[in-house]
Chain A
Amino acid sequence: MSRVHVTTTVNGDETEFLCDPRETLLDCLRDRLNLTGAKEGCGTGDCGACSVTLDGRLVCSCLVLGVEAEGREIGTIEGVAQGDELHPLQRKFIEHAALQCGICTPGILVAAKALLEKSPDPTEEEVRYWLAGNLCRCTGYDKIIRAVMDTAAEMREAV
């Protein structure tokens, strides 16, 4: 099958790739652009390990086709830190030990960042429901929720 040329912006950088029209955005990020931070846990949009933003909107990249990235802006875990400056969420996840194996961590960080951008003062319940699409099998979510709440508090103080 002939490949399609796609021009897109990933973490602020203009990027091009060729892909099979059947390939998902997740496949393209991982296999074409070597951005392996987004993970495939299910391929059906149930686990959220592949979470990225598409024009600022949180999506499962396994449910988006690579060709749909044409002309769009994509944000991945690799773009969450600014240079050597970690995003507060990243810092707090380490501090709170909000990860064990770490496979769900990139997706959860991308999702949590999207939450805090739209809702800087979420309740615990809001955080739990927002992250309900991101499965974690190791932690029982306790330390993840605490890390997100603590980050939100710190970011509000910084404003």
Chain B
Amino acid sequence: MALDDSKREFRFVGTRPDRPDGLDKVTGRARFGADMNAAGMLHGAILRSPHAHARIVRIDTSKAEALADVKAVVTRADFAEVPFKPGLAGEVWNVLENVMAGDKALYDGHAVAAVAATSALAARDALKLIEVEYEELPYVTDVNAAMRQDAPVIREGAADFSVPDDMHPNVVRRHESGHGDVEAGFAEADLVIEDSFETEATHQGYIEPHACLGQLGKDGKGELWCCTQGHWIVQKTCAALLGIETANLRVTASEIGGGFGGKTTVFIEPVALALSRKANRPVKIVMSRAEVFRATGPTASASMDIKVGMKKDGTITAAQGEFRLQGGAFPGAPGDMTAMCAFAPYDLKNVHQVGYDVMTNRPKQAAYRAPGSPMAAFAVESVVDELCRKLDLDPIEVRLKNAAREGTKASYGPRFERIGLVETLEAAKAHPHYAAPLKPGQGRGISCGFWFNHGGETSVSLALSEDGSVQLMVGTPDIGGSRASMALMAAEVLGIPYENIRVTIADTASLGYNDVSHGSRVTYASGLATIKAAKDAVRKLSQRAAAKWGIPEDAVKWEDGCAVPSGPNAGDFDPLPLAEITAEMGQTGGPISGHFEATPEGAGVSFATHIVDAEVDRETGATKVVRYTVIQDAGKAIHPTYVEGQFQGGAAQGIGWALNEEYIYGEDGRLQNAGFLDYRIPVASDLPMIDTVIVEVPNPGHPFGVRGVGETSICPPLAAIANAVSAAAGVRMRHLPMSPPRTLAALKARDA
């Protein structure tokens, strides 16, 4: 799409007004997923497998159904038949199988049946009366064990075309890419380091558990309220799983209490609708925290082998990596993305990467902020750090020397457009943090990180009111303050105050299709569509002014919220403000709205560099992050405060992943820590202030230069913290999280 309308001087963009939903959120009246009720509403609850892998021999629901409070019970038989296909081609089947088990329970926590009853307590009581006969099967929860020839087979035929025939059926997708000759490259190196790394599965950890309220009639028409990152994908998926037409299900997105990728699919929504169809009453389902941990998307865990060669001057001569990712009992672990992101910050003549997507008896992985990239960065940036140490080179200088720039052939194939990696590295080098002295026992780490970003299907509608105020309808749930950014971009084009624009997340019946709020796409794609929709409205406003003045349309231009003659020859007319045009729009041609629908392609990749200081307690193995600086290219920060918020939030989640968070499975194949007490996310007293530097290297694919910022911020922290801890502890940390017992063991092994 032509971007002839790019703009670099701004009146509203780059300011920091209060967010439009602020008042609702500080007074408790914002309505999240679980905050909606309906007359005659029932409460649903889901029975889950206690086994990691088991054949479901028989389900007897008769005792539950006999209870007066119970109005419906559903099992897999109450959902539509969906064809099975290998790999991600069968994603609808995969989602259905995850939402409600078929022949087998595939992980501890897998849904097997559900009830709707007159109260939440009655529903929970009824679950205890459902009898399920299981035949337990061998299981596997570790990625490397799942690839071995003797591993239990989770599902035959799930592998797609990319997997060689001699691999275990649990290996379902394989990616291989790169260029040059790595062996020749390693031969040129003065030092080659080869090492292996592991990261454990972590949960997105949104504070709001999944919640929904659904109603579906025998006529196939329904309504659904739910917390989701994308209600059109919910609409499409639920319709497919229930065998109804998409347009007959209207989905409204509630305020969303965090998602981070984990709310980009469905879990309970089709179940509530199936129960509602059977009971002919609205059904609300709210997950417990334990259900969130056991049955919704953790990220993949990873096992990785990295080899990098470097000359004494810091030039990297070759790099290769193998990335094995475990994504639960379904295809989807981002082995491909991990491989493609791994070496992206570097200009490499010789690079080779292989990624595997492997199934285990764990919950179906879901996207988590730049899926795959943080793990890859951890492994690669650890090896680069080790090379710098051994060759006594400055880690920022080495990264600058090898940095990808505009025109560099990326490790994943094409050449980079204008990118801002070097700018983040230069800013890191110049930052006082990098020169600050360290105290004894502290270590400093740095890392770069990369993410692709995404565009996706986008529709925006903008309706003008007679008084000149504007209603802006977007379809991407606001997960981090995006309504403020949208209003700023619309204000910029229309030339009217930010406060005169009300932004609403429209439901699926009120706006065209929108892809999910993922891939850091909202400010980029919904922002681009908002700008275009506002320009569409400006064009129509200008037409009205031209008609009023009796001059040609192209003799009118739009300036500071007014139509004005484009030059002295166009005529002598006073500026006509927007509100004067809209006041009489009913009599001058009818209501004025602006629209835009497209799949913007030009998201623009993004880079960051993080600096971390960490302190390791040698007696307990506990690590404290004492100073943290995020430097990231935002292209153009529309609302800088919320850009900082994304930087800080990504860093904090990365700190949790690096230091504490992990899914712990027992010998019995069950999740051992399905609660916030044992799955410990960072709390306020764990963290320092998180400094931010916003670098702005405009993205050529957006009229204002925006690059998505939501995901890249979680790419460098794992590696940066591991490098800091390794420096502080004097031992290379190869396994995340660096929890106190693991760090203590590493310290003891070092001293032994």
B289→A41 contact, CB < 8 A: yes
A36→B35 contact, CB < 8 A: yes
**Residues in chain A near residue B641, CB distance under 8 A:** 96-97, 143
Q: How far is the CA of A19 from the CA of B729 in the complex (A)?
A: 55
Shortest distance in angstroms between B368's beta carbon and chain A's nearest beta carbon? 12
Q: State which residues 613-663 of B face A: CB under 8 Å.
A: 641-642, 644-645, 648-649, 651-653
- Residue from the list A101, A128, A134 in contact with B479, Cβ < 8 A: A101
Interface 9-mer from B6-14, B236-244, B254-262, B491-499: B254-262
Closest to A127 in B: B684
**Known contacts A94-B22, A134-B684, A139-B652; is-contact A44 B676 (Cβ 8 Å):** yes
B642→A97 contact, CB < 8 A: yes
A81→B642 contact, CB < 8 A: no
- Residue from the list A81, A103, A143 in contact with B648, Cβ < 8 A: A143
Q: Does B248 contact A (CB under 8 A)?
A: no
Closest to A78 in B: B28
Q: How far is the CA of A22 from the CA of B479 in the complex (A)?
A: 34
B651→A140 contact, CB < 8 A: yes
Q: Does B19 contact A (CB under 8 A)?
A: yes
Q: How far is the CA of A105 from the CA of B35 in the complex (A)?
A: 15
Q: Does B427 contact A (CB under 8 A)?
A: no
Closest to A93 in B: B26
Q: How far is the CA of A40 from the CA of B645 in the complex (A)?
A: 24
B26→A99 contact, CB < 8 A: yes
Q: Does A43 contact B (CB under 8 A)?
A: yes
Q: Does B436 contact A (CB under 8 A)?
A: no
Shortest distance in angstroms between A50's beta carbon and chain B's nearest beta carbon? 11
- Residue from the list B121, B208, B480, B649 in contact with A140, Cβ < 8 A: B649
Q: How far is the CA of A99 from the CA of B32 in the complex (A)?
A: 15
Shortest distance in angstroms between B676's beta carbon and chain A's nearest beta carbon? 4
Q: Does B68 contact A (CB under 8 A)?
A: no
**Known contacts A101-B479, A104-B207, A132-B683; is-contact A37 B676 (Cβ 8 Å):** no
Q: Does A155 contact B (CB under 8 A)?
A: no
**Residues in chain B near residue A86, CB distance under 8 A:** 23, 26-27
A101→B27 contact, CB < 8 A: no
**Residues in chain B near residue A89, CB distance under 8 A:** 26
B27→A102 contact, CB < 8 A: no
**Residues in chain B near residue A137, CB distance under 8 A:** 204-207, 258, 260, 649, 652-653, 681
A101→B257 contact, CB < 8 A: yes
**Residues in chain B near residue A15, CB distance under 8 A:** none
Shortest distance in angstroms between B283's beta carbon and chain A's nearest beta carbon? 15
Q: How far is the CA of A30 from the CA of B43 in the complex (A)?
A: 14
- Residue from the list B29, B209, B480 in contact with A138, Cβ < 8 A: B480
B121→A41 contact, CB < 8 A: no
Closest to B688 in A: A142
**Known contacts A42-B675, A44-B677, A78-B27; is-contact A97 B685 (Cβ 8 Å):** no
**Residues in chain B near residue A25, CB distance under 8 A:** none
Q: Does B18 contact A (CB under 8 A)?
A: yes
Closest to A20 in B: B121
- Residue from the list B288, B479, B645, B681 in contact with A139, Cβ < 8 A: B645
Shortest distance in angstroms between B25's beta carbon and chain A's nearest beta carbon? 3
B260→A103 contact, CB < 8 A: no
Q: Does B720 contact A (CB under 8 A)?
A: no
**Known contacts A101-B479, A131-B684; is-contact A90 B649 (Cβ 8 Å):** no
**Known contacts A140-B690, A143-B645; is-contact A105 B653 (Cβ 8 Å):** no
Q: Does B144 contact A (CB under 8 A)?
A: no
Q: How far is the CA of A138 from the CA of B617 in the complex (A)?
A: 28
The B interface, classified by DSSP as helix, strand, loop or mixed, is loop
A46→B684 contact, CB < 8 A: no
Q: Does A77 contact B (CB under 8 A)?
A: yes
Shortest distance in angstroms between B97's beta carbon and chain A's nearest beta carbon? 28
Q: Does A53 contact B (CB under 8 A)?
A: no
Q: State which residues 681-706 of B face A: CB under 8 Å.
A: 681-687, 689-690
Q: Does A17 contact B (CB under 8 A)?
A: no
A interface residue count range (under 10 / 10 to 19 / 20 to 34 / 35 or more): 35 or more
A46→B31 contact, CB < 8 A: no
Beta-carbon contacts of B176-215 to A below 8 Å, as 1s and 0s?
0000000000000000000000000000111111000000
Q: How far is the CA of A27 from the CA of B286 in the complex (A)?
A: 12
**Known contacts A104-B207, A140-B687, A145-B684; is-contact A37 B28 (Cβ 8 Å):** yes
**Known contacts A90-B27, A139-B652, A143-B648; is-contact A43 B288 (Cβ 8 Å):** yes
B19→A103 contact, CB < 8 A: no
Closest to A76 in B: B28
Interface residues contributed by chain B, number (CB under 8 Å): 59
Q: How far is the CA of A46 from the CA of B289 in the complex (A)?
A: 10
Q: Does B152 contact A (CB under 8 A)?
A: no
Q: Does A47 contact B (CB under 8 A)?
A: yes
**Residues in chain A near residue B23, CB distance under 8 A:** 86, 94
Q: Does A136 contact B (CB under 8 A)?
A: yes
Q: Does B671 contact A (CB under 8 A)?
A: no
Q: Does A109 contact B (CB under 8 A)?
A: yes
A105→B648 contact, CB < 8 A: no
Q: Does A23 contact B (CB under 8 A)?
A: yes
Q: Does A64 contact B (CB under 8 A)?
A: no
Q: Does A58 contact B (CB under 8 A)?
A: no
**Residues in chain A near residue B34, CB distance under 8 A:** 30, 36, 39-40
**Residues in chain B near residue A102, CB distance under 8 A:** 21, 24-25, 30, 255, 257
Closest to B34 in A: A40
**Residues in chain A near residue B648, CB distance under 8 A:** 139-140, 142-143
Q: Does A14 contact B (CB under 8 A)?
A: no
Q: How far is the CA of A128 from the CA of B652 in the complex (A)?
A: 14
Q: Does A80 contact B (CB under 8 A)?
A: yes
Shortest distance in angstroms between A22's beta carbon and chain B's nearest beta carbon? 6
**Residues in chain B near residue A101, CB distance under 8 A:** 206-208, 255-259, 479-480
Shortest distance in angstroms between B300's beta carbon and chain A's nearest beta carbon? 19
Beta-carbon contacts of A83-119 to B below 8 Å, as 1s and 0s?
0001001100111110111111110010000000000
Q: How far is the CA of A35 from the CA of B642 in the complex (A)?
A: 29
Q: Does B465 contact A (CB under 8 A)?
A: no
- Residue from the list A31, A127, A133, A138 in contact with B258, Cβ < 8 A: A138
Q: Does A152 contact B (CB under 8 A)?
A: no
**Residues in chain B near residue A40, CB distance under 8 A:** 34, 209, 286
Q: Does B119 contact A (CB under 8 A)?
A: yes
Beta-carbon contacts of B117-129 to A below 8 Å, as 1s and 0s?
0011100000000
Shortest distance in angstroms between B27's beta carbon and chain A's nearest beta carbon? 6
- Residue from the list A20, A38, A133, A140 in contact with B28, Cβ < 8 A: A38
Q: How far is the CA of A78 from the CA of B28 in the complex (A)?
A: 6
Closest to B30 in A: A102
Q: How far is the CA of A135 from the CA of B641 in the complex (A)?
A: 21
Q: How far is the CA of A99 from the CA of B24 in the complex (A)?
A: 12
By a beta-carbon cutoff of 8 Å, the part of chain A in contact with chain B is: 20, 22-23, 27, 30-31, 35-44, 46-47, 49, 76-78, 80-81, 86, 89-90, 93-97, 99-106, 109, 125, 127-129, 131-146
CB-defined A-B contacts under 8 Å, sample of 19: A38-B28, A41-B208, A43-B289, A46-B289, A47-B207, A47-B289, A78-B29, A97-B481, A97-B644, A102-B24, A102-B255, A103-B258, A105-B26, A135-B207, A136-B684, A139-B648, A139-B652, A142-B648, A143-B645
Excluding A47-B289, A101-B207, A140-B690, 4 further A-B contacts by CB distance (< 8 Å) are: A43-B288, A46-B676, A80-B28, A89-B26
Closest 7 A/B residue pairs (Cβ): A37-B28, A103-B257, A140-B652, A102-B25, A77-B28, A46-B676, A140-B648
